[in-house]
A and B are shown apart, each in its own frame.
Chain A
Amino acid sequence: MILRQLAIEIVQVALLIGLSPLFIGWVRMLKCWSQGRSSAGILQPYRDLAKLFAKDVILAENASWIFRFTPYLVFGTAVLAGGIIPILSVDLPLAPTADVIVLVGFFAVARFFTALAGMDIGAAFGGMGSSREMTIASLAEPAMLMSIFTVSLANQSTSLSYIVQVICSGQSVLRPSLAFAFLAFVLITLTETGRIPVDNPSTHLELTMIHEAMILEYSGRHLALIEWAGMMKLSLFVMLGIACFAPWGIASGVGLMEIVTAFIAMTLKLGLVAFGIVLIETGLAKMRLFRLTEFLGTAFLMATLGMLSFYILE
């Protein structure tokens, strides 16, 4: 039994590592189609990664150990988070290691060190990216926590596996607080994964980039690790959202059929979510930095409203 659980755990992490570039490829392909361009194919992210891994590393003269340590740490947090979020099954040996607050902490660690790496070289853009990233994070993180607090209050747990079990067993009814929390979570996912309208993952225009500005000086395998971790982060946030708001399909045990069903359900959901992301990205323009206050303020307000309505109405 325990061997089986371990096997599922490993399969899940391997799936996350292996398939998150595919998800990004799918999103990019949809985006190209919806904008009337021809796409580079769903496998392009793999080719990008392979190219980067094959290259030598060019490191700025001033780079310290923090700059070289950060890619591994960022990758490590993403992998560890992938072992904790119930993607295929709730019966994971690593699941009790961390609840959803700790997961937010993982992403915060990765962000903290990426921001430090941005300042390490001593170039103007790196500092600019770090400053903006931390400003946005300081608005986004409370909203994120409030949103998942609402979910945890409704399900009386902060443990993701348990939340999934409660929702799947039908104990949780449709609540107004969860609707608010979900809206906030969507806005936060766009922010945290650096999508339009907050950040543009494909820009290198000096004045608009945020995440790209911090990792401007990276190259070779370091850049590959960071890019890969970024791809995993998008998948992880989508999985986190699925686990919190629409977990139907995630296996409650470790039976083979259950896992296969869960895998199919996950694939379908991810495919659908990509449509949503593409709709938002195609329909909106990137916002000015100081307009983001309103965007994230809305997210924060939604999440707080969700929590208030839980306390007052439910």
Chain B
Amino acid sequence: MSIEPVNIASSSIALLFLLVALAAVLRRKQHALIAVCSLVAGLASLLSVMAGVWTVGSNITGQVILPIGLPDLPFHLRLDPLAGFFLTVIGLLSFFVSVYSAGYLKGFLGHRPVTRLVVFYSLFIAGMFMVVLADDALFFLVSWEVMAAASYFLVMFEDERPENRRAALLYLVVAHVGAIAILLSFGVMAGITTGFESFNGYTFDAMRQAKFPVAWATAAFLLSFFGFAAKAGVVPLHVWLPEAHPVAPSNVSALMSGVMLKTAIYGIVRVTFDLLKVFPWWWGAVVLVFGLVSAVMGVLYALMQHDLKRLLAYHSVENIGIILIGIGLAMIFTSFQLPMLAALALIAGLYHTLNHAMFKGLLFMGAGAVLHATKERNMEEMGGLIHRMPWTAALFLVGCVSISALPPFNGFVSEWLTFQAFLLSPALPNPLIRLLIPLGAALLALTGALAAACFVKAFGVTFLGHWRGRHNPPVHEADWYMRSGMLMAALTCLCLGIFPTIVIDWMDIIPEQLVGSKIAATAGAYGWMWLTPVAPERASYSGPIVFVGFVFIFAVVYLILHVRAGKIHRRPIWDCGFEKINERMQYNATSFSMPIRRIFGFPFHVKELVRLAPQSAHAAFPKQLHYFLRVRDRFWGWVYKPIIGASFWVSRRIGNLQRGRIQTYLIYSFITIIILLVFTR
């Protein structure tokens, strides 16, 4: 067996399965198990990063057919640049998270065995690797289910809490509704490929060759988009995400939010650009509209939250929206035969995929470190952690700045590219699109600004000020494993922000294969320092100079001001001279977002009650104030409650068949036989 990327990737999956076996052997030695888990999972992730980087960098496509699976239906594996890119994204974050887990999992020692966590953790990563490697519908769905089932058990890890069980069940249901849609979509495509009698159309290769009639292609696209959207948490299918991500262990939330959602993005790109290939413009418009709605709604939901991990989970909805905006634009440009612009939009979407994996993984790891130290998820009870957890605070801040799309970090680059794609849209001939695009640019701008507000809130309330809670727990800084996991992710965020040209040059082969054009020739035309996506006079950005400029000016000003030894006196808070300031008077998460809730509250079901409990003597001087606030998702009432009610109603009606009397059952059997005799003569 020669050394090829696809073999490296396969051996990384084999390593992860080996880890499952090791977990069974080592279940009595929990300390050793945690070390082995981090080591093996980290190694496997590094291997797949290697395979991915190599594949994309040298444009290799490798295929392997495994002689397992159903009789006559072997599993096909294929590693092409698109798969290689996602393999890199998944592997990179899995590596960081595996290092982090070495410290994080120790928190469970003495409370509960981590064997189950280790088993499903490795199955989960293996499942994600297999999804991007799969080259036939059967293996894809098997991998998809491995990934879904493993993550279900991970969400269920702390199963003594009822909300965890509820969240896991909701997740399982949505995941399977989505999986059914994906199965049906592949069924349609395979059926068109070879006719409905044969099974040979189930490989992706056969689907690539086939020509699909428009109606059937549309059916396949809509089904698969629905299925993948359910996994990605696109509004209105997002309800499972804020339930499931917060209750999972934080290393798992980092992976679920950072990379599991990306497998759905992979699926959308694979099905539309690679398997179906030709499509009308309105498919792109559908993706774009869902992306815009998810982006805006996601960030608005996030602003209403005061649970740190829930807030981050809603931001995943937002960022998936931003990625879909890029992909939707790429689809629109492709269907109007503008490959150059399509390449730019696709690069913007994929670059944001990579960026979001890094900063969202970092933020969830940071939230995990906070949770680990304080045993608290509610931001209203936190504050001042920057003094007690300086490392975590600084690294979490890097994540906040990146996700808020601020230069010179990575989130900014992908958002900037998306804006550039929007600004190139006057080339489009369709009047309807011309109305949609300005609106889209406006909503994307709104999303970015609201995200910054949300992360000022998240960071400010959690890490700054004083501790708000009534009980002051002993807080400790995260250990070195957790710190190095976060540090690597933070450095990656910075590098992706400063050196976008190099990364774009590396991944440029993907748009060339999918939409038939590349942008690196112009994007890096003026050397690695300048990012010029279309032409230098059209737009340019230089991450390195911005970064160096900040550092330079900072240093110069600091030095000039410190020539004269000015004194710094530490004094109590001034606060305009008010006395008796205490910690409970600080702004908290709810009060911070109050103006935004008032302005953008209309999409939500907000119930706010204020009640004053008067003192007996002086009615004018209330003794206590009760404040009640509940913000609910309107989609829950609009979409999910009716569906749940209807399914219960149907189940009850069907349940009536079950009478518990043998005579009735005999009649059922008799009727069935008669019907079968009539129809299958």
Chain A residues in the interface with B (C-beta under 8 A): 53, 56-62, 64-66, 72-73, 75-77, 79-80, 83, 94, 96-99, 101-102, 105-106, 108-109, 111-112, 115-116, 118-128, 130-132, 134-135, 137-142, 145-146, 149, 152-153, 156-159, 162, 204, 206, 216-217, 220-221, 225, 289-290, 293, 300, 303-304, 307-308, 310-312
CA–CA, A195 to B336, complex, Å?
Answer: 46
B438 touching A308, Cβ below 8 Å: yes
A134 touching B435, Cβ below 8 Å: no
C-beta contact mask, B574-599 vs A, less than 8 Å → 1, else 0? 11101001010111000111111011
Chain B residues in the interface with A (C-beta under 8 A): 383-384, 386-387, 393, 397, 401, 404-407, 412, 416, 419-420, 422-423, 426, 431, 434-435, 437-439, 441-442, 445-446, 448-450, 452-453, 455-457, 459-461, 464-466, 526, 530, 532, 536-542, 545-546, 549-550, 553-554, 557-558, 561, 566-576, 578, 581, 583, 585-587, 591-596, 598-599
Other-chain contact of A134, B452, B530, B539 (Cβ < 8 Å): B452
Q: A130-B456, A158-B420, A217-B573 are in contact. Are A290 and B595 (CB under 8 A)?
A: yes
B587 touching A134, Cβ below 8 Å: no
A138 touching B434, Cβ below 8 Å: no
A153 touching B426, Cβ below 8 Å: yes
A128 touching B587, Cβ below 8 Å: yes
CA–CA, A183 to B671, complex, Å?
Answer: 77
| Top 4 closest pairs, chain A to chain B, by CB | A127-B587, A122-B465, A119-B460, A134-B453
B464 touching A57, Cβ below 8 Å: no
Q: Which residues of A contact B592 (CB under 8 A)?
A: 127, 130-131, 134
Among B426, B546, B596, chain A packs the most CB atoms within 10 A around the CB of B546
A124 touching B587, Cβ below 8 Å: yes
Q: Which residues of A contact B539 (CB under 8 A)?
A: 99, 101, 157-159
> Closest CB-CB distance, A197 to chain B, in whole Å?
17
A96 touching B576, Cβ below 8 Å: no
CA–CA, A128 to B13, complex, Å?
Answer: 51
> Closest CB-CB distance, A275 to chain B, in whole Å?
31
Q: A66-B464, A157-B538 are in contact. Are A307 and B595 (CB under 8 A)?
A: no
> Closest CB-CB distance, A23 to chain B, in whole Å?
21
Q: Which residues of A contact B526 (CB under 8 A)?
A: 96
> Closest CB-CB distance, A46 to chain B, in whole Å?
17
Q: A123-B581, A138-B446, A158-B539 are in contact. Are A221 and B561 (CB under 8 A)?
A: yes
> Closest CB-CB distance, A230 to chain B, in whole Å?
15
Q: Which residues of A contact B405 (CB under 8 A)?
A: 105, 108
A137 touching B449, Cβ below 8 Å: yes
B465 touching A62, Cβ below 8 Å: yes
Q: Which residues of A contact B437 (CB under 8 A)?
A: 311
Other-chain contact of A158, B401, B538, B549, B561 (Cβ < 8 Å): B538
> Closest CB-CB distance, A60 to chain B, in whole Å?
5
Q: A58-B571, A122-B586, A159-B537 are in contact. Are A116 and B442 (CB under 8 A)?
A: no
Q: Which residues of A contact B554 (CB under 8 A)?
A: 72-73, 76
Q: Which residues of B contact A131 (CB under 8 A)?
A: 457, 587, 591-595
> Closest CB-CB distance, A213 to chain B, in whole Å?
9
B595 touching A76, Cβ below 8 Å: no
Task: Name 11 interchain pairs, CB-CB below 8 A, sorted by A.
Answer: A58-B571, A61-B572, A116-B460, A119-B456, A124-B581, A139-B599, A142-B442, A146-B445, A153-B426, A304-B439, A307-B442
Instruction: List 17 other contacts, CB 8 Å, given A124-B581, A135-B599, A290-B598.
Output: A60-B570, A66-B386, A97-B542, A97-B549, A98-B540, A98-B541, A99-B539, A116-B460, A119-B464, A120-B460, A122-B466, A122-B573, A124-B585, A130-B460, A137-B453, A162-B537, A307-B438
B573 touching A62, Cβ below 8 Å: yes
B449 touching A64, Cβ below 8 Å: no
Q: Which residues of A contact B387 (CB under 8 A)?
A: 62, 64
B599 touching A60, Cβ below 8 Å: no
A138 touching B449, Cβ below 8 Å: yes
Q: A76-B550, A119-B465, A127-B465 are in contact. Are A112 and B570 (CB under 8 A)?
A: no
> Closest CB-CB distance, A178 to chain B, in whole Å?
15
Q: Which residues of B contact A57 (CB under 8 A)?
A: 566-569
B406 touching A60, Cβ below 8 Å: no
> Closest CB-CB distance, A261 to chain B, in whole Å?
24
CA–CA, A225 to B404, complex, Å?
Answer: 25
Minimal Cβ-Cβ distance residue in B for A105: B407
Q: Which residues of A contact B457 (CB under 8 A)?
A: 131, 134
CA–CA, A126 to B567, complex, Å?
Answer: 24
A130 touching B587, Cβ below 8 Å: yes
Q: Which residues of B contact A62 (CB under 8 A)?
A: 384, 387, 465-466, 573
> Closest CB-CB distance, A156 to chain B, in whole Å?
7
Other-chain contact of A311, B435, B545, B573 (Cβ < 8 Å): B435
CA–CA, A204 to B393, complex, Å?
Answer: 32
> Closest CB-CB distance, A145 to chain B, in whole Å?
4
> Closest CB-CB distance, A187 to chain B, in whole Å?
15
Other-chain contact of B557, A72, A94, A130 (Cβ < 8 Å): A72
Q: A149-B423, A307-B441 are in contact. Are A99 and B541 (CB under 8 A)?
A: yes
CA–CA, A206 to B591, complex, Å?
Answer: 17
> Closest CB-CB distance, A160 to chain B, in whole Å?
11
B569 touching A58, Cβ below 8 Å: yes
Q: Which residues of B contact A311 (CB under 8 A)?
A: 426, 434-435, 437-438
Q: A112-B456, A119-B461, A307-B438 are in contact. Are A159 and B542 (CB under 8 A)?
A: no
Among B456, B542, B558, chain A packs the most CB atoms within 10 A around the CB of B456
CA–CA, A53 to B573, complex, Å?
Answer: 21
A80 touching B586, Cβ below 8 Å: no
> Closest CB-CB distance, B66 to chain A, in whole Å?
48
CA–CA, A293 to B595, complex, Å?
Answer: 10
Q: A58-B569, A112-B452, A149-B423 are in contact. Are A124 and B575 (CB under 8 A)?
A: yes
B540 touching A96, Cβ below 8 Å: yes
Minimal Cβ-Cβ distance residue in A for B426: A153
CA–CA, A99 to B540, complex, Å?
Answer: 6
Minimal Cβ-Cβ distance residue in A for B549: A80
